[in-house]
A = this chain, B = another copy of it.
Amino acid sequence: MQIPVIQKVLAANDLISEELRAQFEKAGLLVVNLMGSPGAGKTSLVERTLEHLRKLKIGVIEGDVATSLDADRIARFGVPVVQINTGGACHLDAAMVRKALGSLDVSELDILLIENVGNLICPAQFDLGEACKAVVCSLPEGDDKVLKYPAIFSLVSAVVLNKLDLLDRLNFNLPDFRRHMAELNPDAALMELSCLTGEGFDRWIEWLELGARNAREFGGGSQSPARCRE
């Protein structure tokens, strides 16, 4: 009984997400759907990005079950930000993003970062019209996450492995994590960094800059997710 209903929901979502994708490509905008577990450091990644990438215009959509805590953190940087509260739903969907765009002028942006609800499972199923999906994973979560949550790691163009500063205190096998990713999704860029110390952050910034340039120059093509890959 459940499966046909879910398929209908996904099909309805895809109608809207394709409309959004066309709008984003027309505007020459790079849109990244940032997913990850609660507390992986998605908002910290956005904060550090706003500090490091001042030459591009960045807008942010924050998705949370409740509160505007994350949007408040982002608003301090003086960039356009919209908070979506799902009121219980475990993921963003394209209709929520379309509604949020009513408060954002995408024609003025180079990059739109959409921070999804903290959840390593459900957001993977819902296309938001983004050019690229990225997952933020952190060392304290353990080195087995690629194996245990394969759907999300197989879909993304980039993996940000955060909290590298804690490596000396954790029993985290970095070669194992790299190998699991290389076996599951060899095309994804793996960026190991620390939002706290800034170590490794340059690669993330370069990846965003490359994506933004591609979106600006080739916007409107159908190969957008591939273009985000290095």
A122 with B120, Cβ < 8 A, contacts A37-B39, A147-B66, A166-B169 known: no
| A5, A120, A121, A122: residue with the most chain B Cβ atoms closer than 10 Å | A121
A22 CB–B CB distance under 8 Å: no
Tell me the minimal C-beta distance from A91 to chain B in angstroms. Answer: 9
How many residues on the A side are at the interface (Cβ–Cβ under 8 A)? Answer: 36
Number of copies of chain A assembled together = 2
Q: What string of 1s and 0s marks CB contacts (under 8 Å) between A2-25 and chain B?
A: 100100110000000000000000
Indicate whether A90 reaches chain B with its CB closer than 8 angstroms: yes
Contact A65 B148, CB 8 Å, known A2-B9, A5-B5, A120-B38: yes
Q: For A37, what are the chain B residues with a Cβ–Cβ distance below 8 Å? A: 37-39, 118, 141
Q: Does A84 contact B (CB under 8 A)?
A: no
